[in-house]
Amino acid sequence: MHTSIETSASPQSVDPALAAWREVDLDAIGRNVRALADIAAPASLMVVIKADAYSHGSVEVARAAVASGADHLGVAVLEEAFELRSAGITAPVLAWLAGPGARYAEAVACDVSLAAYSCAQVEEIARAAASVGGRAQVHLKAETGMWRGGAAAGEWRELVDLAGRLQRRGTVDVVGVWSHLACADEPRSSSNDAQLRLFLDAVEVAGRAGLEPSWRHLANSAATLSRPDMHFDLVRCGLAVYGVDPLAGHGATVGLEQAMTLKGTVTHVKEAPAGAGVSYGHTYRTSTATRLALVPLGYADGIPVAPGTAVRAGWRGHPVPLAGRVCMDQLVVDVGDLPVQPGDEVTLLGPGRDGEHTVRRWSDLTGRSTYELLTGLDRRRVPLAHVRRT
């Protein structure tokens, strides 16, 4: 359930009957995109919107990103690309994860660019393109040290030679050569320079095969911010678009605004005496007489189980500790003497305006990556609302 809200965000912006929801600030997305585009220039910017735009809503984020300066969109699987095309989004889209029997013909017909990792894959793409009388736009992926998808060493030479022949036959256009960094979020890692050298070698091999791709791309969000020598023709930004620093304090970055806020409605408030054990295992005990508020969010919704009182939620600018273990579909916050009432909003994660922790702080405290925390939010149980705060 995606609910678009184009007015200023307020407590009345969302259906009060909802137990919990995600708010995504599209203006923050736009500002992040503009900042990243400026940093990447003269290279172009691809905004990565796989996994429903990291749970931010793929179609809405795609539109905001393109309007704010993104030249390309990147997705993982073809179904994500088809969703964008069905929504009327015409910007260039690259889909990079598909196996034998994939819907390549449909992708060619709706102008979706395709990644190819092997000779067998590029041949299948070429056959699909011929079946619909088109030419597939192909980005060849080189293995440079991630050891995930991509062609390595001798296989790379075979792949570019074959792709060159298919291009001359008119079934494919090799528009891109690319790879992916394993340790870009660790700027001092020697693997970054090693991967850069291998990528440059791969580009040279492609050139000797007669290929002249328009888009050479290696940099992700972290490398976009820290390695201008890796920008080439195109950079691919995901996490940074959503306002999360991919370098996690390892280097100075541009100011980014976290776009997502996770909220829940208080369903019950009660007085508790000093020494009361709260939730499973009584891992939390009240130190004084206090008030406890129940919020219908739990680990089934993607909330990680956090230790003790490490994690803070927020209520109207006041940080309040989570009290005890997160349960499957509910959690408790210790609100002290704050006048919290049933029906009030409590913020579980966000940019910090309500006193809550950011997703980066949640990551630090729980040991789960920011990617996990964002994409792990249940999209059925925690509906999505798009807001504009400016």
Is 50 one of the catalytic residues?
A: yes
Q: How far is CA 342 from CA 11, 262, 291, 295, 364, in A?
A: 14, 18, 12, 9, 30
CATH superfamily entry for domain 25-242: Alanine racemase (3.20.20.10)
Q: Which residues are annotated as a binding site for substrate?
A: 148, 328
Q: What is the model's pLDDT at position 311?
A: 87
CATH topology of domain 260-387: Lyase, Ornithine Decarboxylase; Chain A, domain 1 (2.40.37)
The per-residue pLDDT for 152 is 95
Question: Out of 104, 280, 299, 371, which one is annotated catalytic?
Answer: 280
| pLDDT attached to residue 45 | 98
What's the pLDDT score for residue 309?
61
Eight-class DSSP state of 385: E
Which of 50, 54, 117, 263 is catalytic? The answer is 50
**Beta 318-321 vs 331-334: how paired, if at all?**
unpaired
Q: Residue 150 is encoded by which pair of tokens?
A: 């991509």
What totals of helices (H) and strands (E) does the chain contain, helices first? Answer: 11, 20
Residue 270 annotated in active site = no
CA angle 242/243/244 to nearest 5° reads: 100
Position 304 scores a pLDDT of 87
What per-residue confidence (pLDDT) applies to 1?
37
Q: Are 23 and 9 in contact (CB under 8 A)?
A: yes
Query: Is the whole-model pTM more than 0.85?
Result: yes
Task: Say what the pLDDT of residue 308 is.
Answer: 60
Binding site per annotation, positions: 148, 328
Domain residues of the chain, as ranges?
Answer: 25-242, 260-387
10-residue block means of pLDDT along the chain (390 residues)? 40 62 97 97 98 97 98 98 98 97 98 98 98 98 96 96 98 98 95 98 97 98 97 98 88 84 97 96 95 96 78 95 94 97 96 94 91 92 88
